[in-house]
């Protein structure tokens, strides 16, 4: 796990984002599928006092994870994030205090239009990470994450390969999730420069 963290640190230094394959094995992904039977809530958009569901912007359903007391099958993932947090702080002096994450489920035909994570809800969001947890994915299933730079040029189009992980400096990369044609499952979260909640 530490070598993956080191590779991510190198990528972040070089380009501000990182994509790593095979963070999880098929067996681990298989065990994680039960998490997606939880009671998911429709993800909303807008500021905290004016949150609303708008499927023209985002159609995913989410389930927040208690990072201090995570489900057993997520222990390795949370430990990995803890190591990543420490390395990010040591290498880039980001001053990350803690992270939050939720599971996300995109039903068939849903998407998430281009947005910046940073200004959506909380300006302390400084680093975004996404683990793709569906057991299988094919090119024809769509659901690509498109990463843009601040000028709007495409930086990378990421097929959400099972067991892979994408992360990036939140404020530097607007991004979108293209329409998916199979249920798309992930764990998404943010590292914060202040204590949340």
Please report, as ranges, the residues that interact with Mn ion according to CB under 5 A: 117
Nearer to ligand OGA, 90 or 136 (CB): 136
* Residue closest to Mn ion when measured from CB atoms: 117
- Tell me if 124 contacts ligand OGA by CB under 6 A: no
Q: Taking the CA of residue 112 as centre, how many other CA atoms within 13 Å lie in the half-sphere pointing to its CB? A: 25
Which runs of E-coded beta strand occur in the chain? Answer: 17-20, 41-42, 61-64, 98-106, 112-115, 125-132, 145-148, 154-158, 165-169, 175-177, 184-192
Three-class DSSP category at 164: coil
Closest to ligand OGA by CB, 90 vs 114, is 114
Of 85 and 175, CB closest to ligand OGA: 175
Q: Should residue 23 be labelled a site residue for ligand OGA when binding is judged by CB under 6 A?
A: no
H helical segments located in the chain: 2-15, 26-32, 75-92, 117-120
Looking at beta carbons only, is 90 or 123 nearer to ligand OGA?
123
Least distance to ligand OGA from the beta carbon of 90, Å? Answer: 26
What is the footprint of ligand OGA within residues 75-104 (CB under 6 A)? 104
């Amino acid at each position: 796990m530490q070598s993956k963290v080191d590779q991510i640190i190198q990528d972040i230094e070089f380009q501000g984002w990182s994509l790593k394959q095979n963070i999880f094995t098929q067996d681990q992904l298989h065990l994680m599928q039960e998490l997606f039977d939880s009671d998911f809530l429709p993800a909303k958009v807008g500021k905290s006092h004016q949150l609303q569901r708008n499927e023209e912007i985002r159609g995913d359903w989410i389930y927040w994870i208690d990072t201090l007391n995570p489900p057993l099958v997520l222990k390795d993932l949370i430990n990995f994030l803890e190591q990543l947090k420490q390395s990010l702080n040591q290498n880039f002096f980001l001053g990350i205090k803690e992270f939050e994450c939720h599971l996300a489920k995109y039903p068939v035909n849903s998407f998430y239009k281009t947005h910046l994570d940073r200004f959506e809800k909380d300006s302390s969001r400084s680093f975004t990470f996404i683990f793709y947890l569906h057991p299988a994915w094919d090119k024809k299933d769509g659901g690509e994450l498109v990463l843009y730079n601040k000028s709007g040029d495409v930086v990378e189009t990421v097929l959400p390969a099972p067991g892979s992980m994408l992360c990036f400096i939140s404020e530097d990369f607007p991004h979108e999730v293209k329409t998916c044609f199979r249920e798309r499952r992930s764990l998404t979260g943010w590292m914060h420069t202040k204590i949340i909640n």
